[in-house]
Chains A and B, each alone.
Chain A
Amino acid sequence: MNDKKIIYLGLIIFAVIFTFPFWYNQLKASPAPEPILSQTAKDAKTCVEPKEFMKTGHMQLLNTWRDKVVREGMRQYKSTNGKDYNISLSSGEESCMGCHGSKADFCDKCHNYASVTPYCWDCHIEPKENK
């Protein structure tokens, strides 16, 4: 019955090691970055869809948009807030980057933090202000 102690000890060590990343990250994690809104975006007050959705779902929306534009020729989006938007990443004032004028201040802030590197900008042309 002496083994009992060893087993308990082993279990505790296992638990600590197993959960290490969770509590370590909680102590260490740097605060989530705040993307900087351009004046145009601030003035608009509302995004294409509610902020909460855009935070987690903008990529799904963009994915749907690109298929709608390229494959179906649909270039206008009637948002759930009733407004019409020009579906385009970077062409024209009504486009995504027309409002969020700076890729570095807006997109990159979170993408760098989350270590996400979308390849949109390999082809699409980012607004000039970034140079």
Chain B
Amino acid sequence: MEKSSRRSFFKVAGISLLGISGAAPVLNSFAESQVSHTVEGSYVKNESTLQAKRWGMIINTKELSEDNVPSIIEACHKAHNVPNIDNKKHEVKWIWEEEFKHAFPTVNHDFLNERVENLKFLVFCNHCNNPPCVRACPTKATFKRDDGIVLMDFHRCIGCRFCMAACPYGSRSFNFENPRPFIEETNPLFPTRMKGVVEKCNFCAERLAVGKIPACVEAANGAIVFGDLNDPESEIRQVLKENYTIRRKPALGTGPSVYYIV
């Protein structure tokens, strides 16, 4: 008897608790979580998207000069909100100039042609066919797309910098500080990055997606050729056929997609 009365007390107490305490919000939130969070829309590429099996570039150093090189660099950095940080240790760059002996240490030798020895080379990410940076990235923030572009998903970068250690070309920069104050004029069409994120040239993936060629190619007026390396009919393959070209550190086996006419 004693037992059953205690039991009925708890029953009544429990029910009245639900009533008086306004369990409604709790129940509501349970009910709300039943709302479906997935919708069945579908996704496609823009019709104007430029597509290729393997994008590549040829830099014709014979056509580079002090007149056009700064504007090529500026075109890229403006388009991608690359901050202009004076402190060498914190600097961020997507495309920059490098001396021959640094860009091509394995080809460098004594008694080099004077023009080549003094030339500044435009260097940036090589969008390697076998990219060590992709293998090193623990979060898959760096990945290689089907069209050969080695791209970064800034959302996923945890700033561990394994990719920077893995890249034999120093193509990547790290944001040691918030880049926003160092961008003179932000381009609203491209995001900035934040402190703790790695960045590099993206072969202008965002421009290819809307049918435009990369900003540096556009600014180079023919000094840079851009195209599909896997298409034997493409302009880039024609230029490769007709010119002697070199790639950076080919012996490492990364398979750079950027070629240089010297």
Contacts and interface: CB of A to CB of B under 8 A. Distances in A.
B102 interface: no
Contact of B153 (A71, A75, A119): A71
Contact of A123 (B22, B45, B145, B193): B193
Contacts of B176: none
Interface stretch (A34-42, A60-68, A105-113): A60-68
A26 B39 contact: no
A22 B19 CA distance: 12
Contacts of B46: 75-76
A49 B43 contact: no
Contacts of B37: 56-57, 60
A26 B22 contact: yes
A71 B24 CA distance: 42
Given A71-B153, A123-B192, A123-B194, A22 B25 contact: yes
Contacts of A91: 188-190
A90 B192 CA distance: 12
Instruction: With a 10 A CB-CB cut-off, give which of A18, A68, A73, A87 has the most chain B CB atoms.
Output: A73
A19 interface: yes
A49 B47 CA distance: 23
A5 interface: no
Interface residues of B, number: 40
A9 interface: no
Contact of B35 (A25, A52, A76): A52
A49 B35 contact: no
B35 A56 contact: yes
Contacts of B35: 52-53, 56-57
Interface footprint category on A: 35 or more
B143 to A, nearest CB: 7
Contacts of B189: 91-92
Interface string B151-171: 101110000000000000000
A35 to B, nearest CB: 18
A68 B45 CA distance: 10
A123 B81 CA distance: 10
A65 B7 CA distance: 53
Nearest to A84: B44
A111 B26 CA distance: 21
Contacts of B21: 15, 18-19, 22-23
B98 to A, nearest CB: 28
B43 A78 contact: yes
A61 to B, nearest CB: 7
A45 interface: no
Contacts of B32: 56
Nearest to B21: A19
A15 B17 contact: yes
Contacts of B246: none
Instruction: With a 10 A CB-CB cut-off, give which of A77, A122, A128 has the most chain B CB atoms.
Output: A122
A17 B68 CA distance: 74
A73 B36 contact: no
Chain A to chain B: the 4 pairs with minimum beta-carbon distance, closest first:
A19-B21, A74-B43, A123-B191, A91-B189
Interface of B: 13, 17, 20-26, 32, 35-46, 49, 143, 145, 151, 153-155, 186, 188-194, 205, 209-210
16 contacts: A15-B13, A18-B21, A19-B22, A22-B23, A22-B26, A48-B41, A52-B35, A56-B35, A57-B36, A61-B39, A71-B143, A74-B44, A79-B41, A123-B191, A123-B192, A123-B193
